Amino acid sequence: MKIFRFIYILGIVSICSFQSNGQNYHATNGSAYAGSVGIFNNPAAGVNSVYKWDLNIFSLQTTLTTNNIFLSKNTTGSNGITGDTKINFKEGSNSYYGHMNMDFNLFNFQYKIDNEHSIGIGLRGRMYNHLKSSPIFANDTLTSGYSFFRANRTTAFLDGFMTHHGWLELNLNYSQVLQETEGSRLTGGITLNIAKALSGFQGRVNKIIFEEFIVPATNDTGYIITQGGVNYAYTNNYDLPNTGTQNTLSQIINNSLTNLGVNLGLEYSIYNSANTDAALHSPTNYSWKFGFSLMDLGKNSFKSSNYAGNFYNPIPRLTDGVLDSKTTNITSLSDVKDSLQSMFLNYDSLVGKFDIGRPTRIILNADKNLGNHFSINGQININFYSTGAYKKY
């Protein structure tokens, strides 16, 4: 169980958080050819599509950013090219972080009622993971509490958090022309998200402080935790097998809370002065197009597990040896709670509900039409959500 202990210890002292931009199909942002996926960047994009209708049967994308994994190549031979590429973990004292988002789309359908009105509907699965730690020393040789604390004996404290949430949402979109003149066109759109919050977890390590001491019997050094705490909450969908319920997708959906969200967007197109008749305006003959959208307003609420809790004030003599013994033979999530309760004097239950904010953001987009089906597009994302937010009811 050494590997499990290492993961457990590392999880306690370096629970971290990912922060990421919202999902975007970058090559299609601002494009009139984006089809039904255009509303994921701006809800007003539907009515500016070149297509009468568009069906996206399936699409998938993921983004991962981290500072603790890198690629290296060991070259062989005189050409300096031949060799093996390896994945390595960054070692040393670092503030570790990682960001990951993923989404997949099923049967997203967009239909232009006419040149001024459009509707859309689609099913979408989404997941965000966030990890961040205070500066710690870590590598793959730290397999016990003693080795970890010894490597971090000059670290002031251990602190970090982790957030994960995944949900399934139904998107209902409507967009229309708001104003049109000889030289410009303003369109607006709104998307209602009806979501099932399927999987959620939030955990935090709160300033774990430890000290070095001398073991009288052996005259060796040891380490003792003197301050700090740990809290975590996760959706009770992970406890379904313990209740005798089958952990099927339908059961998970039925057991999950329903949440609402909304996306809002505007697109403003400027046309060349040669277009003197508004009827000549089309989704492709603009000179400039500017987009503004406010995405993912809302939150996801989860039913918290009975094993969720806040643990603080370490017991007297919580040494590295005691930590190792209490994290051995952990085989279930209930064992994690029992182990933590035996290591801290105070425990607060976090049973009930907890929220994780959606990745609310403003997207500013500018698109210059160069003609002959070429354009230049630029985009700025401004995030308005905290990956480390935690709320207990």
Q: Calculate mean pLDDT across residues 366-374.
A: 86
Residue pLDDT, tens place only, 253-298: 899 999 999 999 999 999 986 554 555 688 888 999 999 999 999 9
Residue pLDDT, tens place only, 160-204: 999 999 999 999 999 999 999 888 999 999 999 999 999 999 999
Q: Which amino acid is at 306?
A: N
Residue pLDDT, tens place only, 196-206: 999 999 999 99
CB contact at 8 A, 62 and 79: no
* CA–CA distance, 68 with 96 (Å, rounded to integer): 6
Residue 371, classified by CB atoms within 10 Å of its CB into exposed (0-12), middle (13-18) or buried (19+), is exposed
> Which of the four pLDDT bands, split at 50, 70 and 90, describes residue 248?
confident
Model pTM greater than 0.85? no
Q: Say what the pLDDT of residue 81 is.
A: 56
Of 393 and 211, more confident: 211
How many other C-beta atoms lie within 10 A of the C-beta of residue 25?
18
Token reading at 253: 């959906």
98, HSE (Cβ side, Cα atoms, 13 Å) = 17
* CA–CA distance, 195 with 125 (Å, rounded to integer): 9
Q: Say what the pLDDT of residue 82 is.
A: 56
Q: CB-based contacts of 374: which residues, under 8 Å, 6+ apart?
A: none
Q: Calculate mean pLDDT across residues 356-368.
A: 92
Residue 159 phi, psi (nearest 5): -150, 145
Residue pLDDT, tens place only, 35-85: 888 999 999 999 999 989 999 999 888 888 887 766 666 655 555 555 566
Nearest to 263 by CA among 44, 108, 36: 44
Q: Calculate mean pLDDT across residues 373-384.
A: 86
Q: Say what the pLDDT of residue 344 is.
A: 95
CB contact at 8 A, 276 and 182: yes
Residue 43: strand, helix, or coil: helix
CB contact at 8 A, 224 and 319: yes
Q: Say what the pLDDT of residue 64 is.
A: 82
Q: Which amino acid is at 323?
A: L
CB contact at 8 A, 90 and 67: yes
Nearest to 387 by CA among 102, 132, 157, 199: 132
Nearest to 377 by CA among 34, 99, 118, 58: 34
Q: CB-based contacts of 325: which residues, under 8 Å, 6+ apart?
A: none
Residue 2: strand, helix, or coil: helix
pLDDT above 50 (res 9): no
> Which of the four pLDDT bands, split at 50, 70 and 90, describes residue 12?
very low
CB contact at 8 A, 359 and 128: yes
How many residues comprise the chain? 393
Host H or E run for residue 383:
strand 374-383
* CA–CA distance, 376 with 61 (Å, rounded to integer): 22
Q: Calculate mean pLDDT across residues 10-20.
A: 38
Q: Which amino acid is at 242?
A: N
CA dihedral 21, 26, 32, 36 (to 10 degrees): -70
Nearest to 158 by CA among 217, 67, 223, 247: 223
Could you give the percent of the chain with pLDDT greater than 90? 49
Q: Calculate mean pLDDT across residues 205-218.
A: 89
pLDDT, averaged across the chain? 83
Q: Say what the pLDDT of residue 163 is.
A: 92
Of 152 and 246, more confident: 152
Residue 286 phi, psi (nearest 5): -75, 160
